[in-house]
Structure 1
């Protein structure tokens, strides 16, 4: 069966120039290479150009568009002038190539004579993969060596200091050429250190991170950035060895956990705190993950500890014991408004809370509950719950009404069409005025050029040249304004056909929403709804593109309020 997919040419240049390997030259070379080997015509070729973008990473608009279209099965081959047009980073290139292979897309580089449809080309790709892996291994080894060197100094690496400390600059060693190495160390912040002690004390007393969170919230304790301390923030404080005083209890615990401990028993002086390196795995575009404690590199730091070793170790044991009972966010597989529904009283998210009850339709009953109310046990917010099953149904009904002529969204579309068409007309009138002005300037300039010829080499010629230059500047400014208005016209012209297409799409959603699964229903709702608020009496619905004010489209009924 013939492969009817198209061919993609990718070109990149870091600077806007017309010399050397310009975008045009790269594309022309790739076109000739394609036509010499494959039976292709111009219609089979799609060009992607990134000019003014570095090859240091793959965050380039046209490159990303090309890869997305490869994932969608549009291309059978990607060709470029040279490998470094794809990326100067070997591992980035290998990752790109692996993704192309995954979607059955071939690759060719003209200048490097690499074509993975041939055995030699595939061998070159394998060699590139080996070097990429070697590069990653060398980098990982360097990082580990650096961590060991840092452990010798016990210094702070910089960045945001943990709660309880501030970052202070210290003078380090002097190099042979007289330069002074500066380092950073943690310096205790007395007020924040008291908060850290309170967190540890309350956790030992209450045996629950959730209860500690409620206590801190209701007593108005805040983080160094002025935020309430979440469960995650509290757990981070409790687990961080930076607070532990380096004493006998800490020494025994760290050795029991088989951590890579740098330093001797004598370094644990009962004063300084612990510094742990190599704790996390950090990758671009991914959330940070903590490594196993056996991979940590631990040393006694230069800073003062806050929590005595015995108390810190006790807390670590309690955390391990509570791991199986750790807090999990309440979830509902059927709730549609998670992330869209807010409490109008305090501004917090309202989360679905599943119950064991079943309604008449055989659905499990869930309510939406204010997150702040739940965390503070009602002390900071007392907004009522709302029945989630009924609210979701009413929101879906509103989506169905959006395609009707008298709906808020259709009114918004009509107003937008009117506004855009007015903008189009205004821009056209301004272009006509500017064009007429430009003609006047050009006529004046023509007359001045004639006058300059007659003036010859006289003193008047300098004044004429100055006037010509001034008119040239004014003409250039008019051309810029005309170009800007044309751009506005291109973006503001909405035809009756486009308007009708939008209206038809709304009508289609209204007819099909009841047949969609939960995930698709959520997607549909997010197409039209920006935000939903519950104030205890009414639901305020904010549509996409609407002004900041909401519309009271729904009102609570007695059956919408859940039983307590």
Structure 2
């Protein structure tokens, strides 16, 4: 038997169950209760349990799918995930690959039916508690909305946040933040709305702003996402009855309508979901703010209608990716970004319409000046890839991979580098522990010692960030080593995949099955319009998508 030990902590801190404490408790449980002395540790420090997008957790799941472990041990249920859906999905994977799950604190073990049932009940109650907290937060926002106040944080473009003091109902002095017009940015916001009504395209507005030398507050390109955020934000609109009627018809909760005076802007609350994405209008709580509005309600509402029309056009199309055999596989050979499938209908001179499908660089979609790679004809690309796979011989397959000696050399070098990086991490951890001990002995009331403490804390943070970067590098090298090992072991299986492709592709009717057949042998493809070259990177290759990311922003001469 072999156990995987998984630990997670949201941020670097000496309080609570530290990563080290979690590991020690899991090791003791494995040894004393399960009788397992063979184990491997996976650590994610600085990652939230709100989702499972964590590097070490992903690696753990990959290893479990190879049936590397008989048990997964963690200190507490929420170390895996605080989301019931994610947790349930994880349990299904564990069950499928015959890996028992043990949670020490809750004393759950999925090797028994009762353990599985109790674990699901516990996870459900934990989510119920989180939803109750979320409802309380919404109640608080509802009360705050009655004040129309700005809750602080970076002001949206077009405004600046000013701290002011006033007295509450008990005469006690309180600080709050209010929004004032930023004269350097207000014209940009007005222009964004004007251009959007003219062009009815987020991307076109972004390009027009860049063409005219107008950038975001941070000096970066005013991307289509920034345009969309500005257009969607009701904070810019002057609150009036027309606006409130529109918001009410879309399900928003409204307050302080009596403050409408044709000058103040709307103040929205609860515009984001728990996962950070933007919520629909039906989830908003909107009041009349104390700040001046920038655009009139008719303009803002017209922009929302245009947005809805854009969404309708997209939803009424048959999903583009469902007709793109290489969806998710195409990489831009100029900047390393993914290339997304798109389509448009062109009208010919004789009046007939023809569908044109292509793949375009996502970076270029955001800003035309950031990448000069031309679109890839989808029909030609898909035919080329399919025919190339069909014509692949056994000799070709062998040539696609590095020789055993070359791969052994790569793995040997990687292992040496990993060992060096781990030693560097250990050295940093010792330095961090030493600095923490020094901080604990300082008297922060003494000015000179207070400054020393700040320097220590800054150094601790610097070392912690460096360790996280080193961890990511180790993960990258370990993944590369895994690719090498898997290839050497499964070369005959990969040959069989090519044979299956040749046998079944032409007789497969399901579009999704055709995509799966392609993905069984193609890792990704790289398009370079300068040389009109489409490179196919096969499954098992040591090349990663990230290997092409360093091409970003290179000139044509540098790429060649």
Specify the TM-score bucket, using the shorter chain as the normaliser.
Answer: 0.5 to 0.7
Structure 2 matches for 1:104-503, cutoff 5 A? 128=122, 131-158=125-152, 161-166=155-160, 168-172=161-165, 183-206=176-199, 212=205, 216=209, 221-225=214-218, 232-257=225-250, 259-265=252-258, 267-283=259-275, 288-293=277-282, 295-320=283-308, 324-326=312-314, 330-331=320-321, 333-336=323-326, 340-342=330-332, 349=339, 351-353=341-343, 367-368=357-358, 370=360, 387-396=377-386, 404=395, 409-410=400-401, 412-413=402-403, 416-417=406-407, 419-420=409-410
Contiguous gaps of at least 5 residues in structure 1: 1-5, 33-41, 358-363, 428-489, 551-564
> Which one has the largest radius of gyration?
1
Q: Which range is displaced more, 340-349 or 126-135?
A: 340-349
Specify whether residues 15 and 502 from structure 1 end up closer, same or farther in structure 2 by C-alpha distance, changes over 3 A only.
Answer: closer
Specify whether residues 340 and 204 from structure 1 end up closer, same or farther in structure 2 by C-alpha distance, changes over 3 A only.
Answer: closer
Pairwise CA distance, 1:99? 5.3
Q: Deviations over 1:197-249 (max 9, x none)?
A: 22322344455667656655665654445555555543432232111013454
Specify whether residues 525 and 507 from structure 1 end up closer, same or farther in structure 2 by C-alpha distance, changes over 3 A only.
Answer: closer
Q: Which range is displaced more, 49-58 or 202-211?
A: 49-58
Matched pairs, number: 451
Instruction: State the SS of the aligned residue for 1:368.
Output: strand
Instruction: State the SS of the aligned residue for 2:185.
Output: helix
Q: TM-score, normalised by structure 2?
A: 0.59
Pairwise CA distance, 1:337? 6.2
Counterpart Cα distance in 2 of 1:541 and 1:365: 26
Counterpart Cα distance in 1 of 2:156 and 2:520: 42
Counterpart Cα distance in 1 of 2:143 and 2:105: 43
Specify whether residues 262 and 24 from structure 1 end up closer, same or farther in structure 2 by C-alpha distance, changes over 3 A only.
Answer: same
Contact 1:255 1:261 in 2 (8 A): yes
Match of 2:528 in 1: 533
Q: Deviations over 1:311-363 (max 9, x none)?
A: 32343445456653358685462432655253759989474537699xxxxxx
Q: Deviations over 1:263-283 (max 9, x none)?
A: 242x22333321100123232
Counterpart Cα distance in 2 of 1:390 and 1:147: 54
Match of 1:14 in 2: 18
Match of 2:514 in 1: 518
Counterpart Cα distance in 2 of 1:402 and 1:226: 52
Contiguous gaps of at least 5 residues in structure 2: 8-16, 348-353, 418-477, 506-512, 551-560
Give the superposed CA RMSD: 5.8
Pairwise CA distance, 1:192? 3.4
Pairwise CA distance, 1:509? 5.2
Contact 1:423 1:492 in 2 (8 A): no
Relative CO higher for 1 or 2, CA cutoff 8 Å, sep ≥ 6?
Answer: 2
Counterpart Cα distance in 2 of 1:348 and 1:52: 27
> Is it true that 1:26 corresponds to 2:66 in the alignment?
no
Counterpart Cα distance in 1 of 2:165 and 2:229: 30
Instruction: State the SS of the aligned residue for 2:33.
Output: helix
Instruction: State the SS of the aligned residue for 2:139.
Output: helix
Pairwise CA distance, 1:389? 2.9
Counterpart Cα distance in 2 of 1:8 and 1:90: 19
Contact 2:336 2:548 in 1 (8 A): no
